[in-house]
Structure formats: C-alpha cells, structure tokens
C-alpha cells in the first residue's frame, strides 16, 4: 500500500510534527508512505515538495491579502482565518498518481485550494483527512470557541467585522459543501473531543469520522539524566523547574495570561517558591513574557532540534499548558514521554491525555487559582515519582508509533472498500 501524506509544512507546527511521525511509523509497519509539503526543511528522501519556488509563496500572500481585506484592513484574526481560495493542483504530480491512499493533514495557507481538494476527490482515489483542528468541519475558523454556527451553517462569523448573513464564512461554507457533495471522505480526529465536535457539523453529515491520537517515538522522547539536562540547557541545578512550551508563547489561545496569574498566586501564597522555583519558557517570543512572571524565568527561545527539546523536557519538574482551546497537544505527549507530570485546563483533548491526579492535574478552565493548585500538586515531592511513572506508561500504551500505525492501516483498508 502506498500512502501520500499531504501537509503544508514538513516539521513546523504541531500538525507537521504529527504527520512526520505518522509517515515514519507507517514506513516501519509495512506501508510505503511519502509526504508532500509546501515548506521542505530537510533532505529526507521520503519528503517531496510542490513544484516551483515563487508560486506557492504567492498563493499564501494572496490568501492573506484577501482575508485582510475582508477584515477591513485589520490584523486581528488575520491568521485565525483560512479560506483556501488558492493553492496547487497536486493530482498531476507523480507522487499523487503512484499513491493508493491520499492522506490530507493541515493543508492551509496556500497549500491546497477548495478547488484542488475537489480535484483530489474527483480523482477517485480514497481520501483520509486527519483533522488537527476544526477547519475541515467549519467554514473559515480553526477553533470555534463558543460559536455553534457550524452545527447548521456558518454565517455571521464572530471573527469577521459586520457579521452579515451572507458573509465570507457563509460563502466558504457553500463552497466546502459543494466540494464534499457526492464524495466519501474518512475524517480522523486526533482527539475524541474533536471527533464529537466534527460529528455535530452539518458540513460533515454522512461522512465517516473516527478518532486516532497522534503518535510519538518513545525511543527519541524519553527521560534523560536531570542534572546533566539542566547543565546542558543552562538551567539551575537545585531549583524546581516549571516548563511552558509553545510555538509562539504569546498566542492568547495558549493561555499565557492565566499562567502569569497562576505564577503570581504561587509567589504570593507560597513565598518559598520565590527562591526555590523558576519558570523555563521554550518557544518563539519567549523573552517577551519573561519579565511578566512573578518567579525567576529563563526564556530559551525557539528550538527545532528534537534532541535539544528532549533535554529541555528532562530538565523540568512540571510541564504546564493552560490552553483555552486545543486538540491533542504534542507538547503534553512529549513531556509525558519524558516522565514530566503535566498541568492543563480541562478543555479540548487535554483531559484525554492527563489523568487527573494520576499523571498530572486537570484544572478548571480559565481558573488561574486551580492552575496554581495543580502546579503545586505535581511539584510536591511526595507525588513526583508516581506521576512520572504513570505518565510514561500512558504514552507507551496509547501513543506508541506501532499502535497508531495499526489504527491508521485499518482506516486505509476500510477507505479502499466500496462505500454503501
């Protein structure tokens, strides 16, 4: 079986990391998998890129321009919206023609247009589409927040100014409905939460929706010697370390404001933390929030080297991700694989990953005081060893490469069967 995995980037962003890991897992389990991307970053022979150099970049810029105009020249929500108005026809590429299964992942920002997706479906090849967020089930957004319009039909989108009845969201919804009409696609949600959301979408009515988590290579992500990891990362040897990781740490969706308040509460109600606890911040713009925290902070910047990332996880005592909306964060999975207890809000797929008070702590959403309580709980030396062991065990059982690959192979085989 030959599978072509299609994703905008090779390794930038959570979807790219997940897609790359899946490709490797499939190749190690008897499937010939390749990856087609717009942004290729390595010389991997199993990863191919779109033809041309300037055209894919122009597609990205043109889509942003159109979105910006619909936002009435405002930057707010500029990257929260995707309309897939331009992209590349991949059906003519040899990698497409050779594939038995076309497996779409995150294909936004000028990778594929809705017209390109329709050409893929019209080709007759079985299509599996992994949802890393809600965009395939809604019109233009990746996370719906409190909006439930996608249950019936997107319109009057809260991300758009004016909220007209036949706004940009309405028009994109109509195009998506036309693309899917008469076609069968297997949608795979990375969490049960997202699968439940997708099943409520009128756009995906009568489509098959299943839930399969992302995979992680535990041979790469595993605990290292903590003292040595701290030395290599330039972190204090004798402090308790709270770690926060995000591709862009200032993204409001990742909950930095709630983390800031939780750290303030810890410093206020537990004065000892001011001298025995620090916060390490890994990700873009880390230095911008370092001075906002009430505890000493160490901005580590953006790191793309997996070995170095494992060192950072291994140096920590607790990992925190107070996302306000999230699917199945790779960062939580990576921290757990490295034996680091995790704390997060009970939103999206996070409660599926963190077993409350067993592998970490699930705080009440948007409750900074409970977030602080969770950090105190996992930092307690009386719980540390038990939580670390349980975290590693859960990753080994639920997120191993072999387990996830087997589930996807079953999906591929079913997708190749005639649908009634």
Structural domain spans, the chain: 2-215+401-415, 226-398
Q: Which is nearest to 360 in space by CA: 400, 380, 369, 347?
A: 380
Q: 368-379 and 256-269 helices cross at what angle (nearest 10)? A: 60
Whether the CB-CB separation of 213 and 398 falls below 8 Å is answered with yes
- Kindly state the tokens that stand for 68: 């910006």
| Cα–Cα distance measured from residue 246 to residue 284, given in angstroms and rounded to the nearest whole number | 7
* pLDDT higher than 60, residue 284: yes
Q: Please measure the distance between the N-terminal and C-terminal CA atoms of the chain and give it in whole angstroms.
A: 23
CA distance 189 to 196: 9
Residue range 148-158: mean pLDDT, rounded: 95
Q: What is the pLDDT of residue 54?
A: 86
Q: What CATH topology corresponds to 226-398?
A: Rossmann fold (3.40.50)
Q: State the pLDDT at residue 163.
A: 74
pLDDT of residue 66 exceeding 90, the answer is: yes
Nearest by Cα to 318 from 269, 374, 266: 374
Residue 5 pairs in a beta bridge with: 35, 103
Q: How many whole angstroms separate alpha carbon 155 and alpha carbon 164?
A: 7
Q: How far apart are CA 229 and CA 234, in angstroms?
A: 9
Element of type H or E holding 79:
none
Across 198-208, average pLDDT: 96
Closest CA to 192 of 211, 217, 215, 176: 211
The two domains 2-215+401-415 and 226-398 share their CATH topology (first three levels equal): yes
Cα–Cα distance between 266 and 289 in angstroms, integer?
Answer: 17
At residue 52 the predicted structure's pLDDT band, cuts being 50, 70 and 90, is confident
* Average pLDDT of the residues in 346-365: 97
pLDDT for residue 420 is more than 60:
no
Correct CATH for 2-215+401-415 of 3.40.50.800, 3.40.50.2000, 3.40.50.720, 3.30.1370.100 = 3.40.50.2000
The 10s digit of each residue's pLDDT in 103-113 is 999 999 999 99
Residue 121 pLDDT exceeds 90: yes
Residue 151: pLDDT above 80?
A: yes
Q: What percent of the chain is modeled with pLDDT above 70?
A: 100
Q: Mean pLDDT score of the chain, rounded to an integer?
A: 95
């Amino acid at each position: 079986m030959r599978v072509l995995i299609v994703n905008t980037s090779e390794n930038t962003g959570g979807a790219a990391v997940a897609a790359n890991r899946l490709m490797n897992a499939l190749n190690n389990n008897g499937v010939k998998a390749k990856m087609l991307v717009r942004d290729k970053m390595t010389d991997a022979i199993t990863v191919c890129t779109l033809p041309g150099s300037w055209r894919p970049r122009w597609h990205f810029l043109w889509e942003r321009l159109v979105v910006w105009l619909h936002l009435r020249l405002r930057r707010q929500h500029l990257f929260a919206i995707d309309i897939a108005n331009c992209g590349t026809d991949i059906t003519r590429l040899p990698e497409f023609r050779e594939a038995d299964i076309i497996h779409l992942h995150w294909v936004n920002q000028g990778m594929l247009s809705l017209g390109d997706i329709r050409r893929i479906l019209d080709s007759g090849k079985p299509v599996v589409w992994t949802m890393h967020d809600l965009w395939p089930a809604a019109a233009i957004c990746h996370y719906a927040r409190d909006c439930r319009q996608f249950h019936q039909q997107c319109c009057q989108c809260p991300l758009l100014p004016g909220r007209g009845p036949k706004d940009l969201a309405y028009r994109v919804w109509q195009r998506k409905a036309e693309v899917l009409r008469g076609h069968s696609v297997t949608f795979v949600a990375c969490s049960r939460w997202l699968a439940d959301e997708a099943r409520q979408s009128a756009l995906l009515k009568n489509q098959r929706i299943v839930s399969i988590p992302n995979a992680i290579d535990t041979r790469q992500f595993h605990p290292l010697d903590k003292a040595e990891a701290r030395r290599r990362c330039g972190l204090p040897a004798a402090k308790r370390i709270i770690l926060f990781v995000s591709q862009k740490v200032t993204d409001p969706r990742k909950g930095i404001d709630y983390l800031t308040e939780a750290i303030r509460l810890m410093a206020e109600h537990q004065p000892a933390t001011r001298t025995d606890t620090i916060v390490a911040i890994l990700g873009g713009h880390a230095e911008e929030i370092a001075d906002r925290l009430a505890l000493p902070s160490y901005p580590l910047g953006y790191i793309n080297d997996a070995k170095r990332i494992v060192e950072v996880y291994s140096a920590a005592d607790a990992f925190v991700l107070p996302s306000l909306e999230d699917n199945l964060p790779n960062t939580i999975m990576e921290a757990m694989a490295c034996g680091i207890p995790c704390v997060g809000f009970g939103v999206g797929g996070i409660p599926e990953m963190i077993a409350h008070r067993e592998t970490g702590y699930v705080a009440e959403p948007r409750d900074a005081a409970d977030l602080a309580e969770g950090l105190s709980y996992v930092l307690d030396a009386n719980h540390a060893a038990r939580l670390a062991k349980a975290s590693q065990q859960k990753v080994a059982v639920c997120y191993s490469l072999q387990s996830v690959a087997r589930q996807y192979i079953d999906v591929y085989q079913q997708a190749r069967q005639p649908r009634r």
